Chain A
Amino acid sequence: MDSFASDSAFFGVALTLGCYWIGAALKKRFRLAIFNPLLIAVALCIAFLLVFRIDYQSYNSGAKYLSYLLTPATVCLALPLYRQLEKLRKNLRAILCSLIAGALTSMGSVLLLSMLFGLSHQEYVTFLPKSITTAIGMGVSEELGGIVPLTVAAIIITGIFGNAAGDLVMKLFKITEPIAKGLAMGSASHAIGTARAMEWGELEGAMSSLSIVISGIITVAAASFFAMLY
Protein backbone atom coordinates (compact mmCIF):
# COMPACT_ATOMS: atom_id res chain seq x y z
CA MET A 1 0.00 0.00 0.00
CA ASP A 2 2.81 2.36 0.90
CA SER A 3 4.63 1.80 -2.39
CA PHE A 4 1.48 2.58 -4.34
CA ALA A 5 0.87 5.70 -2.24
CA SER A 6 4.38 7.00 -2.72
CA ASP A 7 4.22 6.50 -6.51
CA SER A 8 0.75 7.95 -6.87
CA ALA A 9 0.55 11.63 -7.75
CA PHE A 10 -3.05 11.97 -6.64
CA PHE A 11 -3.36 9.70 -3.60
CA GLY A 12 -2.48 12.40 -1.06
CA VAL A 13 -4.76 15.03 -2.56
CA ALA A 14 -7.62 12.56 -3.07
CA LEU A 15 -7.40 11.30 0.52
CA THR A 16 -7.26 14.87 1.86
CA LEU A 17 -10.28 16.03 -0.17
CA GLY A 18 -12.23 12.83 0.56
CA CYS A 19 -11.68 13.22 4.30
CA TYR A 20 -12.68 16.87 4.11
CA TRP A 21 -15.97 15.94 2.41
CA ILE A 22 -16.70 13.33 5.06
CA GLY A 23 -16.09 16.06 7.65
CA ALA A 24 -18.37 18.47 5.81
CA ALA A 25 -21.09 15.81 5.55
CA LEU A 26 -20.87 14.99 9.28
CA LYS A 27 -21.12 18.67 10.12
CA LYS A 28 -24.21 19.06 7.94
CA ARG A 29 -25.80 16.00 9.52
CA PHE A 30 -25.08 16.78 13.18
CA ARG A 31 -24.64 20.58 13.30
CA LEU A 32 -22.31 20.36 16.29
CA ALA A 33 -19.25 22.54 16.70
CA ILE A 34 -17.09 19.48 17.33
CA PHE A 35 -17.85 18.23 13.81
CA ASN A 36 -15.49 20.69 12.23
CA PRO A 37 -14.59 19.53 8.68
CA LEU A 38 -10.94 20.52 9.07
CA LEU A 39 -10.54 18.77 12.42
CA ILE A 40 -12.27 15.62 11.16
CA ALA A 41 -10.25 15.60 7.93
CA VAL A 42 -6.96 15.76 9.84
CA ALA A 43 -8.04 12.99 12.23
CA LEU A 44 -9.29 10.74 9.39
CA CYS A 45 -6.14 11.24 7.30
CA ILE A 46 -3.93 10.37 10.27
CA ALA A 47 -6.07 7.32 11.07
CA PHE A 48 -5.94 6.18 7.43
CA LEU A 49 -2.15 6.49 7.25
CA LEU A 50 -1.74 4.58 10.54
CA VAL A 51 -4.18 1.79 9.66
CA PHE A 52 -2.72 1.16 6.20
CA ARG A 53 0.86 1.75 7.37
CA ILE A 54 1.53 4.51 4.88
CA ASP A 55 4.45 6.85 5.55
CA TYR A 56 3.75 10.55 5.89
CA GLN A 57 6.32 11.12 3.12
CA SER A 58 4.35 8.91 0.74
CA TYR A 59 1.14 10.79 1.54
CA ASN A 60 2.86 14.15 1.28
CA SER A 61 4.49 13.42 -2.09
CA GLY A 62 1.07 14.22 -3.54
CA ALA A 63 -0.50 16.29 -0.77
CA LYS A 64 2.33 18.83 -0.83
CA TYR A 65 0.72 20.43 -3.88
CA LEU A 66 -2.12 21.57 -1.63
CA SER A 67 0.39 23.21 0.71
CA TYR A 68 2.05 24.74 -2.34
CA LEU A 69 -1.08 26.77 -3.03
CA LEU A 70 -1.04 28.30 0.44
CA THR A 71 1.16 31.25 -0.51
CA PRO A 72 -0.87 32.37 -3.56
CA ALA A 73 -4.10 31.81 -1.58
CA THR A 74 -2.85 33.95 1.32
CA VAL A 75 -1.83 36.64 -1.18
CA CYS A 76 -5.41 36.59 -2.51
CA LEU A 77 -6.78 37.42 0.95
CA ALA A 78 -5.89 40.99 -0.05
CA LEU A 79 -8.90 41.08 -2.38
CA PRO A 80 -11.68 40.78 0.25
CA LEU A 81 -9.69 43.19 2.41
CA TYR A 82 -9.60 45.71 -0.44
CA ARG A 83 -13.33 45.31 -0.97
CA GLN A 84 -13.88 46.24 2.68
CA LEU A 85 -11.51 49.23 2.56
CA GLU A 86 -14.25 51.65 3.63
CA LYS A 87 -15.04 49.65 6.79
CA LEU A 88 -11.33 49.33 7.48
CA ARG A 89 -10.83 53.11 7.31
CA LYS A 90 -13.90 53.90 9.37
CA ASN A 91 -12.97 51.51 12.19
CA LEU A 92 -9.22 51.81 12.12
CA ARG A 93 -8.92 52.84 15.77
CA ALA A 94 -11.04 49.97 17.06
CA ILE A 95 -9.19 47.53 14.80
CA LEU A 96 -5.72 48.54 15.94
CA CYS A 97 -6.62 48.78 19.65
CA SER A 98 -8.31 45.39 19.74
CA LEU A 99 -5.48 43.68 17.82
CA ILE A 100 -2.83 45.15 20.14
CA ALA A 101 -4.90 43.99 23.12
CA GLY A 102 -5.26 40.56 21.53
CA ALA A 103 -1.54 40.11 20.86
CA LEU A 104 -0.69 41.23 24.41
CA THR A 105 -3.33 38.87 25.81
CA SER A 106 -1.82 36.03 23.81
CA MET A 107 1.73 36.55 25.02
CA GLY A 108 0.65 37.60 28.53
CA SER A 109 -1.43 34.49 29.05
CA VAL A 110 1.34 32.24 27.68
CA LEU A 111 3.63 33.88 30.26
CA LEU A 112 1.13 33.36 33.06
CA LEU A 113 0.45 29.72 32.20
CA SER A 114 4.15 28.94 31.71
CA MET A 115 4.78 30.19 35.25
CA LEU A 116 1.79 28.22 36.51
CA PHE A 117 2.93 24.97 34.85
CA GLY A 118 6.58 25.61 35.72
CA LEU A 119 7.76 25.34 32.11
CA SER A 120 11.39 26.03 31.24
CA HIS A 121 12.40 29.29 29.53
CA GLN A 122 12.91 27.38 26.30
CA GLU A 123 9.42 25.88 26.47
CA TYR A 124 7.98 29.32 27.30
CA VAL A 125 9.49 31.02 24.23
CA THR A 126 8.44 28.03 22.13
CA PHE A 127 4.79 28.83 22.88
CA LEU A 128 5.13 32.62 22.87
CA PRO A 129 4.32 33.09 19.13
CA LYS A 130 1.67 30.38 18.98
CA SER A 131 -1.24 32.61 17.93
CA ILE A 132 0.39 34.05 14.80
CA THR A 133 0.85 32.70 11.31
CA THR A 134 3.25 29.75 10.99
CA ALA A 135 6.14 31.29 9.05
CA ILE A 136 6.35 34.39 11.27
CA GLY A 137 5.95 32.30 14.42
CA MET A 138 8.77 29.97 13.35
CA GLY A 139 11.07 32.96 12.86
CA VAL A 140 10.22 34.41 16.27
CA SER A 141 10.69 31.06 18.01
CA GLU A 142 14.03 30.51 16.33
CA GLU A 143 15.27 33.98 17.24
CA LEU A 144 14.31 33.52 20.89
CA GLY A 145 15.86 30.05 21.10
CA GLY A 146 12.63 28.06 21.15
CA ILE A 147 12.03 24.52 19.86
CA VAL A 148 10.87 25.34 16.31
CA PRO A 149 9.05 22.07 15.38
CA LEU A 150 7.11 22.33 18.64
CA THR A 151 6.19 25.93 17.84
CA VAL A 152 4.89 24.81 14.45
CA ALA A 153 2.81 22.09 16.13
CA ALA A 154 1.40 24.59 18.66
CA ILE A 155 0.56 27.08 15.89
CA ILE A 156 -1.25 24.51 13.74
CA ILE A 157 -3.20 23.05 16.68
CA THR A 158 -4.11 26.59 17.79
CA GLY A 159 -5.40 27.28 14.28
CA ILE A 160 -7.49 24.14 14.06
CA PHE A 161 -8.85 24.57 17.59
CA GLY A 162 -9.75 28.18 16.80
CA ASN A 163 -11.38 27.17 13.52
CA ALA A 164 -13.47 24.56 15.34
CA ALA A 165 -14.27 26.52 18.53
CA GLY A 166 -14.82 29.96 16.96
CA ASP A 167 -18.58 29.65 16.54
CA LEU A 168 -19.02 28.61 20.16
CA VAL A 169 -16.70 31.29 21.59
CA MET A 170 -18.49 34.04 19.63
CA LYS A 171 -21.82 32.86 21.00
CA LEU A 172 -20.48 32.50 24.55
CA PHE A 173 -19.03 36.02 24.66
CA LYS A 174 -21.91 37.52 22.65
CA ILE A 175 -19.65 38.78 19.89
CA THR A 176 -22.01 39.47 16.99
CA GLU A 177 -20.42 42.43 15.19
CA PRO A 178 -18.94 41.00 11.94
CA ILE A 179 -15.78 43.14 12.18
CA ALA A 180 -15.20 42.05 15.79
CA LYS A 181 -15.76 38.38 14.90
CA GLY A 182 -13.21 38.55 12.09
CA LEU A 183 -10.60 40.31 14.21
CA ALA A 184 -11.09 37.77 17.02
CA MET A 185 -10.60 34.82 14.66
CA GLY A 186 -7.52 36.23 12.93
CA SER A 187 -5.74 37.35 16.08
CA ALA A 188 -6.38 34.11 17.99
CA SER A 189 -5.96 31.54 15.23
CA HIS A 190 -4.31 33.20 12.21
CA ALA A 191 -4.92 31.86 8.68
CA ILE A 192 -6.68 28.65 9.75
CA GLY A 193 -9.17 30.70 11.79
CA THR A 194 -9.47 33.06 8.83
CA ALA A 195 -10.66 30.17 6.67
CA ARG A 196 -13.63 29.81 9.06
CA ALA A 197 -14.22 33.59 9.23
CA MET A 198 -14.33 33.66 5.43
CA GLU A 199 -17.22 31.17 5.57
CA TRP A 200 -19.14 33.52 7.90
CA GLY A 201 -18.91 36.38 5.44
CA GLU A 202 -16.62 38.59 3.39
CA LEU A 203 -16.35 41.31 6.07
CA GLU A 204 -15.43 38.74 8.74
CA GLY A 205 -12.89 37.16 6.39
CA ALA A 206 -11.36 40.50 5.43
CA MET A 207 -10.90 41.56 9.05
CA SER A 208 -9.45 38.18 9.94
CA SER A 209 -6.96 38.47 7.04
CA LEU A 210 -5.94 41.90 8.26
CA SER A 211 -5.40 40.48 11.75
CA ILE A 212 -2.93 37.90 10.43
CA VAL A 213 -0.68 40.70 9.18
CA ILE A 214 -1.08 43.17 12.09
CA SER A 215 -0.95 40.59 14.91
CA GLY A 216 2.11 39.01 13.30
CA ILE A 217 3.92 42.34 13.21
CA ILE A 218 2.94 43.28 16.79
CA THR A 219 4.17 39.90 18.02
CA VAL A 220 7.49 40.21 16.18
CA ALA A 221 7.95 43.63 17.80
CA ALA A 222 6.96 42.63 21.35
CA ALA A 223 8.15 39.01 21.66
CA SER A 224 11.74 39.73 22.66
CA PHE A 225 10.45 41.94 25.50
CA PHE A 226 8.15 39.15 26.70
CA ALA A 227 11.01 36.66 26.41
CA MET A 228 12.92 38.60 29.08
CA LEU A 229 10.09 38.31 31.61
CA TYR A 230 10.47 34.63 32.44
Chain B
Amino acid sequence: MKYLKQFSIIIAISFTAELIKYLVPLPIPASIYGLVLLFLLLCTGALREDSIKESAGFLVEIMPVMFIPAAVGLLGSWDAVRPILLPAVAMIVAVTIAVMAVTGRIAQRMIRSEEKRRG
Protein backbone atom coordinates (compact mmCIF):
# COMPACT_ATOMS: atom_id res chain seq x y z
CA MET B 1 0.00 0.00 0.00
CA LYS B 2 3.02 2.25 0.34
CA TYR B 3 3.04 3.46 -3.28
CA LEU B 4 -0.73 3.82 -3.46
CA LYS B 5 -0.67 6.01 -0.38
CA GLN B 6 2.22 8.14 -1.66
CA PHE B 7 0.69 8.55 -5.10
CA SER B 8 -2.67 9.49 -3.56
CA ILE B 9 -1.08 12.20 -1.43
CA ILE B 10 0.76 13.68 -4.43
CA ILE B 11 -2.38 13.68 -6.57
CA ALA B 12 -4.44 15.17 -3.72
CA ILE B 13 -1.95 18.04 -3.41
CA SER B 14 -1.95 18.57 -7.21
CA PHE B 15 -5.74 18.66 -7.18
CA THR B 16 -5.85 21.11 -4.25
CA ALA B 17 -3.38 23.27 -6.17
CA GLU B 18 -5.75 23.29 -9.15
CA LEU B 19 -8.55 24.45 -6.85
CA ILE B 20 -6.33 27.28 -5.56
CA LYS B 21 -5.52 28.28 -9.14
CA TYR B 22 -9.23 28.29 -9.94
CA LEU B 23 -9.94 30.59 -6.99
CA VAL B 24 -6.95 32.97 -7.27
CA PRO B 25 -6.95 35.22 -10.35
CA LEU B 26 -3.16 35.30 -10.89
CA PRO B 27 -1.09 33.98 -13.83
CA ILE B 28 0.44 31.33 -11.57
CA PRO B 29 0.08 27.66 -12.57
CA ALA B 30 -1.27 24.94 -10.30
CA SER B 31 2.15 23.24 -10.21
CA ILE B 32 3.69 26.27 -8.45
CA TYR B 33 0.89 26.44 -5.86
CA GLY B 34 1.33 22.71 -5.34
CA LEU B 35 5.10 23.04 -4.89
CA VAL B 36 4.64 25.76 -2.26
CA LEU B 37 1.80 23.82 -0.59
CA LEU B 38 3.85 20.63 -0.30
CA PHE B 39 6.83 22.64 0.96
CA LEU B 40 4.66 24.22 3.70
CA LEU B 41 3.14 20.84 4.65
CA LEU B 42 6.64 19.41 5.07
CA CYS B 43 7.95 22.46 6.97
CA THR B 44 5.04 22.50 9.42
CA GLY B 45 5.35 18.77 10.03
CA ALA B 46 1.82 18.11 8.76
CA LEU B 47 3.35 15.68 6.27
CA ARG B 48 6.40 13.52 6.83
CA GLU B 49 9.05 13.06 4.18
CA ASP B 50 8.53 9.28 4.35
CA SER B 51 4.93 9.55 3.23
CA ILE B 52 5.91 10.66 -0.30
CA LYS B 53 9.64 9.94 -0.61
CA GLU B 54 9.78 7.04 -3.10
CA SER B 55 7.00 8.24 -5.42
CA ALA B 56 8.33 11.80 -5.41
CA GLY B 57 11.79 10.48 -6.22
CA PHE B 58 10.40 8.53 -9.17
CA LEU B 59 8.52 11.50 -10.60
CA VAL B 60 11.46 13.87 -10.22
CA GLU B 61 13.83 11.38 -11.83
CA ILE B 62 11.71 10.87 -14.95
CA MET B 63 10.91 14.59 -15.22
CA PRO B 64 13.25 15.32 -18.18
CA VAL B 65 11.18 13.17 -20.57
CA MET B 66 7.97 15.00 -19.59
CA PHE B 67 9.15 18.08 -21.50
CA ILE B 68 9.67 16.23 -24.77
CA PRO B 69 6.04 16.12 -26.05
CA ALA B 70 5.61 19.91 -25.66
CA ALA B 71 8.96 20.56 -27.36
CA VAL B 72 8.06 18.23 -30.26
CA GLY B 73 4.83 20.25 -30.53
CA LEU B 74 6.94 23.29 -31.48
CA LEU B 75 6.93 21.75 -34.94
CA GLY B 76 3.47 23.31 -35.30
CA SER B 77 4.69 26.84 -34.47
CA TRP B 78 7.38 26.74 -37.17
CA ASP B 79 5.43 29.10 -39.43
CA ALA B 80 5.06 31.63 -36.63
CA VAL B 81 8.73 31.45 -35.66
CA ARG B 82 10.31 31.54 -39.13
CA PRO B 83 9.98 35.30 -39.83
CA ILE B 84 11.90 36.23 -36.65
CA LEU B 85 14.04 33.10 -36.39
CA LEU B 86 17.42 34.83 -36.36
CA PRO B 87 16.71 37.49 -33.69
CA ALA B 88 14.79 34.88 -31.67
CA VAL B 89 17.66 32.39 -31.62
CA ALA B 90 20.25 35.11 -30.92
CA MET B 91 18.07 36.43 -28.10
CA ILE B 92 17.50 33.03 -26.51
CA VAL B 93 21.17 32.07 -26.60
CA ALA B 94 22.52 35.44 -25.37
CA VAL B 95 19.92 36.03 -22.66
CA THR B 96 20.12 32.49 -21.26
CA ILE B 97 23.91 32.64 -20.95
CA ALA B 98 23.78 36.15 -19.46
CA VAL B 99 21.20 35.18 -16.82
CA MET B 100 23.12 32.03 -15.84
CA ALA B 101 26.36 33.96 -15.52
CA VAL B 102 24.90 36.88 -13.53
CA THR B 103 22.83 34.76 -11.12
CA GLY B 104 25.58 32.20 -10.62
CA ARG B 105 28.44 34.67 -10.16
CA ILE B 106 26.52 36.91 -7.73
CA ALA B 107 25.29 33.95 -5.68
CA GLN B 108 28.77 32.43 -5.55
CA ARG B 109 30.44 35.67 -4.54
CA MET B 110 27.90 36.41 -1.78
CA ILE B 111 27.97 32.85 -0.40
CA ARG B 112 31.76 32.84 -0.25
CA SER B 113 32.09 36.26 1.33
CA GLU B 114 29.53 35.35 4.00
CA GLU B 115 31.33 32.09 4.69
CA LYS B 116 34.56 34.03 5.13
CA ARG B 117 32.88 36.48 7.51
CA ARG B 118 31.46 33.69 9.62
CA GLY B 119 34.96 32.18 9.65
- Asked if A pairs with B, the answer is yes
Enumerate chain A interface residues (CB-CB to B < 8 A).
12, 16-17, 19-20, 37-38, 41-42, 45-46, 49-50, 56, 59-60, 63-64, 66-67, 69-83, 85, 91, 93-95, 97-99, 101-102, 105-106, 109-110, 113-114, 117, 119, 123, 127, 130-131, 133-136, 138-140, 142-143, 147, 149-150, 152-154, 156-163, 165-166, 169-170, 172-173, 175-177, 179-181, 183-185, 187-189, 191-192, 194-196, 198, 205, 209, 211-213, 216-217, 220
Q: Are A67 and B107 in contact (CB under 8 A)?
A: no
**In the complex, which residues of chain B have a beta carbon less than 8 angstroms from the beta carbon of A95?**
107
Q: Contact at A93–B114, with CB atoms within 8 Å?
A: yes
Given known contacts A56-B75, A76-B52, is B14 in contact with A187 (CB within 8 Å)? no
Asked whether A69 and B60 contact (CB < 8 A) given A19-B68, A42-B71, the answer is no
Smallest CB gap from A119: residue in B: B87
Task: Flag B65-101 by CB within 8 Å of A: 1 or 0 each.
Answer: 1111111111111001100100111111111111111
A71 touches which of B14, B42, B111 (Cβ 8 Å): B14
The reply to whether A158 and B110 contact each other, CB–CB distance below 8 Å, is no
**B99–A102 touching, CB < 8 Å:** yes
B31-62 CB contact bits vs A (8 Å, 1 = yes)? 11011111100110000010011011101111
Query: How many A-B pairs with Cβ below 8 Å?
Result: 317
Interface check B104, CB cutoff 8 A: yes
Q: Does B27 count as interface, using CB distance less than 8 angstroms? A: yes
- Whether A176 contacts B100 by the Cβ 8 Å rule is no
Closest 5 CB pairs of A and B: A139-B27, A135-B29, A184-B104, A102-B103, A94-B110
CB-defined contacts of A140 to chain B, threshold 8 Å: 27
Report how far A169 CA is from B104 CA in the complex, Å.
Answer: 10
Confirm or deny: B63 has a beta carbon within 8 angstroms of a beta carbon on chain A.
yes
Identify the closest chain A residue to B105 (Cβ).
A173
| B41 to chain A: closest residue by CB | A78
Contact yes or no, B35 A74, CB < 8 A? yes
**Which of A17, A153, A172, A216 is in CB contact (< 8 Å) with B74?**
A153
- Interface of B toward A, CB cutoff 8 Å: 10-11, 13-14, 17, 26-32, 34-39, 42-43, 49, 52-53, 55-57, 59-77, 80-81, 84, 87-108, 110-112, 114
Q: Nearest Cβ distance between residue B42 and chain A, in whole angstroms?
A: 4
Complex Cα distance, B66 from A189, in Å, reads: 15
CA distance A165 to B56 in the complex (A): 27
Chain B residues within 8 Å of A153, by CB? 74, 77, 80-81
Residues of A within 8 A of B11 (CB): 72
**A191 contacts across to B, CB distance below 8 A:** 63, 67
B91 contact set on A, CB distance < 8 A = 110, 113-114, 117, 127, 130, 154
Contact between B104 and A173, CB atoms less than 8 A apart: yes
